[in-house]
Structure 1
Amino acid sequence: MTSTDYKQLKNCRRIGLFDSGVGGLTVLDKLNRLSSDEDGNGATAREFVYLGDTARCPYGDRSPGEIVSFMSEIVSWLVSKNVDGIVVACNTSASVALDSARRQVAVPIFDLIAPTAEYVGKLGRKVGVMATTATVKAKAFSKAIHQVNANVDVVEIACPDLVPVIERGEAGLDSTSVLLEKYARTLSKEKVEVLVWGCTHFPFLSQSFSRVLEHQLVVIDPAKLLLNLEPGQDNIPAPDTLVDSKHSIYVTGDPFDFARSAGICLGYSLDTVNGITVDELSGPVSKSTNTHLKKSETSDNIPIVPAI
């Protein structure tokens, strides 16, 4: 993504985002914070429609054909929600199906891989990318980075066991830190200098991963680069909640499970999660089932530990 593309995204007033699960909330969270900051009064200047395809999560072990089909259904559904821009908050989908989706709909579609490649390619340092199996097989990041700088050494590491852990709300557990140790050893062995979170779920692991790293790394969250932020920029105030009258979150799986995991990962609650069926993505859109979660229910029953 170029600076011109970023300006185009800033001009979008109703933005659709999607992921296989809670991972895309790392992108929505930053968009929401930035929009509130731009407004100047703490009010959100944009509307967001988010879809978590949790009924078919994870995407990382799906075939390319399945992923293309899923993304085709989702972008059409988002367009039916009158969005004027779509952010692919799922790098697995972007690595396999981005071009076909852009041919399918008229609204602009933004991905995270292009701005990441543009930034990392200019650093000229050895890069490690932790991503899903499908993204690694597609060599999406290495291809994009080499288009910017063919001399950059890129190591892509498949991490098939991490998305399920995050979806269960276990990012901060000691058992997850133990799981991450093998990836830390690989990065150290490969002498990686720059780490890219190649899956939008993985920024939720930042705190746990920092405890097991064997050497200092520059860690890149592509969502920040999408929004033209510096990788170390963390001074945008966090909201008390993500969902208000101008925000809509939908999931194809269980809304309560999603809200629970999201609350643990984000460190704040989701007020409303709408449950829809997979069939609604490919057929006529019918009335969704709303799941309203009171703040007291989330605060009392879910250990809120921010992971980003």
Structure 2
Amino acid sequence: MPTDPRPIGVFDSGIGGLSVLKHLARLLPQETFVYLGDTARVPYGNKSAETVRLYSSQCAAFLLTHNVKMIVVACNTASALALDTLRASLTIPVVGVIEPAAREAVSRTRNGHIGVIGTRATVASDSYARCIERYAEGKTLHVHSRPCPLFVPLVEEGWLDSPATRLIAEEYLRPLVANGIDTLVLGCTHYPLLGPVLSSILPGVELIDCGECAAIDAQRLISAEPQELLHMPLISLYVTDHTPAFTMLARQFLGMPVDEPVRVNVEHLALSSDIR
């Protein structure tokens, strides 16, 4: 059993963070989780850095009302633009998704050509390229980044394997195929839900799930030993706006029954220090 009974907090701009929560629940089955999907303000990827930091601080402040012992920022845009300031404002651990995935990509690539796909904001921040360079340790690496802004709304609508989704994915990925990548970082927590489509377009390319990498980092912080599954993880779901696809995808991707999410308003919340 966990030594600290407080829950782990997780937030994302919407549905995508459920892929991170799935990995957390698998690796830490005895933990309790509080998940917030900021569905009223999705996507974060087309917002300014100041707005993303404000939204992230409000989501973190909500999770703190549940006395969480750790916050996992299950959103690449928020990890790119708000992680450092969240860490500076909080006394509990804050785990992002970019650093763990960058480390994994460096260790997996064979030919040194790493692709990164993400929202416009994540790609423009250059966060993955900087992290990959930091962990290169003398390797000659080439990072090929590509924004894929339509992927988030496709996932949010539940269009995970439609002909339209495949056509859009082929268009986005064509330059990365031409660049000869052998490793692709899914730089948005929504994107693993499109994994089967991406794998079919990129046979032989290693897909790096940033959420799984972040969950492994969280596990290391919580406990060095794998936890025995004694009961199903306890998960509380909150959203800032109800969307029919949220509950459907939550049940589908978590692989367990979940209660309907509770709608909350976080716009009045703030951390004690101004992180903007």
Name the TM-score, length of structure 1 as normaliser. 0.76
Deviations 1:273-297 (A, max 9, x none): 11112435449xxxxxxxxxxxxxx
Query: Residue 167 of structure 2 aligns with which residue?
Result: 178
Q: Give the whole-Å Cα distance in 1 for the aligned partners of 2:173 and 2:3.
A: 36
* C-alpha contact 1:50 1:250 (8 A) present in aligned 2: yes
Q: Give the whole-Å Cα distance in 2 for the aligned partners of 1:187 and 1:193.
A: 9
Q: Residues 208 and 122 of structure 1: is their aligned pair in 2 closer, same or farther, counting only changes over 3 Å?
A: closer
Name the TM-score, length of structure 2 as normaliser. 0.84
Q: Residues 120 and 161 of structure 1: is their aligned pair in 2 closer, same or farther, counting only changes over 3 Å?
A: same
Pick from 34, 46, 50 the counterpart of residue 31 of structure 2. 46
Partner SS for 1:55: coil
User: 1:89: Cα distance to partner?
Assistant: 0.3
Does 1:17 pair with 2:4? no
* C-alpha contact 1:171 1:265 (8 A) present in aligned 2: no
Q: Give the whole-Å Cα distance in 2 for the aligned partners of 1:68 and 1:142.
A: 21
Does 1:140 pair with 2:107? no
Figure out how many residues of one structure are paired with residues of the other and give that number.
255
Deviations 1:108-145 (A, max 9, x none): 10112111222222445210011010000000100011
Q: Give the whole-Å Cα distance in 1 for the aligned partners of 2:127 and 2:5.
A: 26
Does 1:276 pair with 2:264? yes
Query: Residue 95 of structure 1 aligns with which residue?
Result: 80
Query: Residue 234 of structure 1 aligns with which residue?
Result: none
Partner SS for 1:163: helix
Q: Residues 12 and 25 of structure 1: is their aligned pair in 2 closer, same or farther, counting only changes over 3 Å?
A: farther
- Which runs of structure 1 show a deviation greater than 6 angstroms over 4 or more consecutive aligned residues? 9-12
* C-alpha contact 1:203 1:221 (8 A) present in aligned 2: yes
Matching residue's letter, 1:23: G
Pick from 102, 105, 116 the counterpart of residue 129 of structure 1. 116
- Which ranges of structure 2 fall in alignment gaps of 5 or more residues? 218-228, 272-276
Q: Residues 227 and 254 of structure 1: is their aligned pair in 2 closer, same or farther, counting only changes over 3 Å?
A: closer
User: 1:211: Cα distance to partner?
Assistant: 2.4
Matching residue's letter, 1:85: M
* C-alpha contact 1:126 1:193 (8 A) present in aligned 2: yes
Q: Give the whole-Å Cα distance in 2 for the aligned partners of 1:158 and 1:193.
A: 18
* C-alpha contact 1:169 1:262 (8 A) present in aligned 2: no
* C-alpha contact 2:183 2:205 (8 A) present in aligned 1: yes
Q: Give the whole-Å Cα distance in 2 for the aligned partners of 1:52 and 1:23.
A: 9
* C-alpha contact 2:9 2:34 (8 A) present in aligned 1: yes
Q: Residues 280 and 48 of structure 1: is their aligned pair in 2 closer, same or farther, counting only changes over 3 Å?
A: farther
- Which ranges of structure 1 fall in alignment gaps of 5 or more residues? 1-8, 37-44, 230-238, 284-308
Does 1:60 pair with 2:53? no
